[in-house]
Chain A
């Protein structure tokens, strides 16, 4: 089969790298990559996507990889095409869906829910609160940027494709400024990580043998659970022809999965009853408005006699670069120093005060490395 690849040399190189291949020689036109093993393999990677033979060379490479990996062409093609992407599969299941089709109404809810889940998670990545349709513009924009993959037959699957570039290439140790373009890309990964974490917490509450306590529900908000997220789930599972919804997170191979994130969650009818109850509770709950900021540490200041240290974090607020000042106790301050030394982006949750033209500061509830990017610290 000959097809336009839909990806370029960088995707191929990244894919080969994570699959254990290493470059042996190259020019601006082509590179040779080697896979050590009992039968050492060498493949040619075309480097000029505009060349008239690029599609041909890429297809030959795909055939080589299919043979070497014993996988079919579409699987290998998709793995390369999505190497920089996180792919979230929403799978609706019900005995009646065995022929690969889905009732129009259920399908409509599934597609709409994909967007709702994304917007709710994006909103929770910015502010931990119920939004009741008053979503931050950034959250709505983000849902417009993610892409919908080809649906797959069998049980009905809707893939959502979002960006997840490798954090290793993002920031250097003791970075002085954030990069707005990089931050925009990383936001996609952060949203997916928030979605995964929030759904994991929700599934845990829904599958427990007892009802979740009010305190547990309140804590779940800090993990990204919101009224809107719950609603997105219940609307799909409550349609007649959907018995369960499971969501699988296929993390990009070039950016490690966020630690503690769920690889797969499932909500059946019983679980959705509990989600519905959580949803009703969240609707009436008064939220403490908490923001979440992501950025790099650019300033550290602490005198020997002081119990806390002052930390400046450069972040994006409404898509503009700003420094937010926080005070940290001894232990988290040392963590901040380490993050600064290694160039690890950080994530801070708390109550933000950012008067126009004034100094932005945050009363910190939670501070640490931005684990959504795959940092293990």
Chain B
């Protein structure tokens, strides 16, 4: 069942996060006898576009990427810079929950507990990728480029306290923490600190 797209909107309308521009839809669902409508993306499509986003940033930043096919320990991708690593759980939404100062995402407690565990040897993060409600606008072809029309935010979970809920817990992803190459650098700074505690001798 196709869902009718709402073009334009207010601050609380997800579509408003993706201002319309000169673009060509590469995928659209057409309702018989009517205008194109947005398609609800499947979870694998959301997952893959999130990976593509992170992959592109990591490549630009010079980081390598371990891509796990099966998420058994709450991690979708591991970024590497030499010996240092950062783990990221990727979530993707077409309809983000906007809260004061950023976004909120309900993460399952099992994953949260794995990522926040203070015994980890590499820090755990949640990254929330926001994609247009209309899957046809996820990738925009321009004359000399293609634009991946999604943007992401991140939160470090390492060492956080117990979950507030029993099934899911709300994670705040601040607006001032966009997932960028620079943000990845910040994540690696934390990873370095974890493996370089001052005064710890190694025999």
Q: Which residues in A have some Cβ–Cβ distance to B below 8 Å?
A: 2, 23-32, 42-44, 46-48, 50-57, 60
Contacts and interface: CB of A to CB of B under 8 A. Distances in A.
Interface string B85-123: 101000000000000000000000000011001011110
Given A27-B200, A60-B66, A60-B78, A53 B124 contact: yes
Contacts of B196: 25-27, 32
A27 B120 contact: no
B73 A57 contact: no
Interface of B: 66, 68, 70, 72-75, 78, 80, 82-85, 87, 113-114, 117, 119-122, 124, 194-197, 200, 202-203
Sorted from nearest, which 9 A-B pairs have the closest CB atoms?
A27-B197, A23-B202, A51-B119, A30-B121, A46-B121, A48-B119, A52-B114, A30-B195, A26-B202
A372 B74 CA distance: 47
A163 B119 CA distance: 29
A53 B75 contact: yes
A52 B121 CA distance: 9
A211 B93 CA distance: 84
A53 B200 contact: no
B73 A52 contact: yes
Contacts of B72: 2
A25 B200 CA distance: 8
A26 B120 contact: no
Nearest to A56: B73
Contacts of A53: 73, 75, 87, 114, 117, 120-122, 124
A60 B82 CA distance: 12
Contacts of B195: 25-27, 29-32, 44
B59 to A, nearest CB: 19
Given A51-B119, A52-B74, 9 more contacts: A25-B196, A26-B195, A27-B196, A44-B195, A48-B119, A52-B73, A56-B73, A56-B87, A57-B121
A27 B119 CA distance: 11
Contacts of A46: 121
A154 to B, nearest CB: 31
Contacts of A44: 83-85, 121-122, 195
A26 B200 contact: yes
Nearest to A25: B196
B194 A51 contact: no
A30 B195 CA distance: 5
A29 B117 CA distance: 11
Contacts of A47: 121
A52 B120 contact: yes
Nearest to A48: B119
A168 to B, nearest CB: 13
A27 B191 CA distance: 11
B83 A55 contact: no
30 contacts: A23-B202, A25-B196, A26-B195, A26-B196, A26-B197, A26-B200, A27-B195, A28-B200, A29-B194, A30-B194, A30-B195, A31-B195, A32-B83, A42-B82, A44-B83, A44-B85, A48-B119, A48-B121, A50-B119, A51-B120, A52-B73, A53-B73, A53-B87, A53-B120, A53-B121, A53-B124, A56-B78, A57-B85, A57-B122, A60-B85
Contacts of B114: 52-53
B203 A29 contact: no
A42 B72 CA distance: 27
Given A42-B82, A44-B195, A31 B202 contact: yes
Most buried by B among A25, A46, A52: A52
Most buried by B among A29, A46, A48, A57: A29
B121 A54 contact: yes
B103 to A, nearest CB: 25
A56 B113 CA distance: 16
Contacts of B121: 29-30, 44, 46-48, 51, 53-54, 57
Most buried by B among A26, A44, A60: A44
A53 B124 CA distance: 9
A287 B78 CA distance: 66
Contacts of A56: 68, 73, 75, 78, 87
B120 A42 contact: no
A321 B21 CA distance: 86
A14 B76 CA distance: 31
Contacts of B203: 23
A21 B122 CA distance: 21
Contacts of B70: 2
